[in-house]
Amino acid sequence: MRRCKDCEPAQENHFVAYMSVILGWIDEPFFDLLDHFFKNFAEKLSNKITLPFFNLMVFLKLGYFSNEPDDKDTWRTKCFWEEAKRRGIKMREFHLGPIRDGFVAEFTKDDKKETIIFDGLPRPNFQESPALKWMDNKGIMKTKFLKEGLPVARGGVAFTKKTALKIFNNITKPVITKPNLGSRSRHTMIHINTIEDLVVGLKKAKKLSPLVVIEEELRGYLFRGTLIGGKLVGVIKRDQPEVTGNGINTIQELLEEENKRPERNGPIFHKIIFDKEAEEELKRQNVKLNDVLEKNKVVTFSQKTSRSCGGTTIEVTDIIHPDNIEMLEHVGKFLKDPLVGVDFIIEDITKSWKEPARNASPSDTGGEQHCGIIECNSLPFIDLHHYPLFGKPNNVASKLWDLVLPESKID
Residue 317 lies in a domain: no
Do 191 and 293 sit in the same domain of this protein?
A: no
User: What type of residue sits at position 217?
Assistant: E
Rounded to two decimals, the pTM is 0.84
Rounded Cα–Cα distance for residues 405 and 403 (Å): 6
Q: Examine the fold and report which residue of 249, 280, 302 is the final residue of a domain before the chain moves on.
A: 302
Q: H-helix or E-strand containing 141?
A: helix 138-148
Q: Are 290 and 249 in contact (CB under 8 A)?
A: no
Kindly indicate the confidence band of residue 186, based on its pLDDT and cuts at 50, 70 and 90: confident
- State the average pLDDT over residues 321-343: 95
Q: Peptide bond before 356: cis, by omega within 30 degrees of 0?
A: no
Residues 55 and 178 placed together within one structural domain of the fold: yes
**Strand segments (E) across 124-220:** 155-158, 175-179, 189-192, 212-216
β-bridge mates for residue 265, sequence order: 270
Is 293 found in the same domain as 255? yes
Same domain, 178 and 283: no
Lowest mean pLDDT across 19-23, 33-37, 241-245: 33-37
CB contact set of 366 (below 8 Å; sequence gap of 6+): 356
User: For position 13, which CATH number holds?
Assistant: 3.30.1490.20
Residue 70 has pLDDT above 90, yes or no: yes
Give dist(CA 343, CA 327) in Å, integer: 12
Shared domain check, 1 and 57: yes
Instruction: Tell me, yes or no, whether 57 and 158 share the same domain.
Output: yes
Query: What is residue 309's predicted lDDT score, i.e. its pLDDT?
Result: 85
Does 57 lie in the same domain as 167? yes
**Which has the closest alpha carbon to 164: 140, 197, 142?**
197
Q: Please state, in angstroms and rounded to a whole number, the distance separating the CA atoms of residues 208 and 147.
A: 28
Confidence of residue 232 (pLDDT cuts 50, 70, 90): very high
Asked whether residue 93 is domain-assigned, the answer is: no
Alpha carbon distance 384, 393 (integer Å)? 9
What's the confidence (pLDDT) of residue 129? 79
Last residue of a domain, one of 302, 320, 344: 302
Distance, in Å, from the CA atom of 163 to the CA atom of 95, rounded to the nearest integer, reads 43
In a domain, 318, yes or no: no
Neighbour tally for 245: CB within 10 Å: 19
In a domain, 138, yes or no: no
Residue 313 placed within a domain: no
Calculate the alpha carbon distances from 222 to 325, 357, 396 in Å. 15, 16, 19
The SS3 call for residue 189 is: strand
Provide the β-strand partners of residue 175. 192, 216
Q: Is residue 259 included in any domain, yes or no?
A: yes
- At 298, which amino acid appears? V
Q: Which domain holds residue 54?
A: 1-61+154-217
CA distance 331 to 148: 9
Q: Are both 1 and 44 inside the same structural domain?
A: yes
Same domain, 56 and 161: yes
pLDDT at 179: 87
Do 247 and 211 reside in the same domain of the chain?
no
Give Cβ neighbours of residue 203 (< 8 Å, ≥ 6 apart): none
Residue 21 domain-assigned? yes
Domain count for the chain, please give it.
Answer: 2
Q: Which of 88-97, 163-172, 184-193 has the lowest mean pLDDT?
A: 184-193
In a domain, 42, yes or no: yes
Domain C-terminal end among 258, 273, 302 = 302
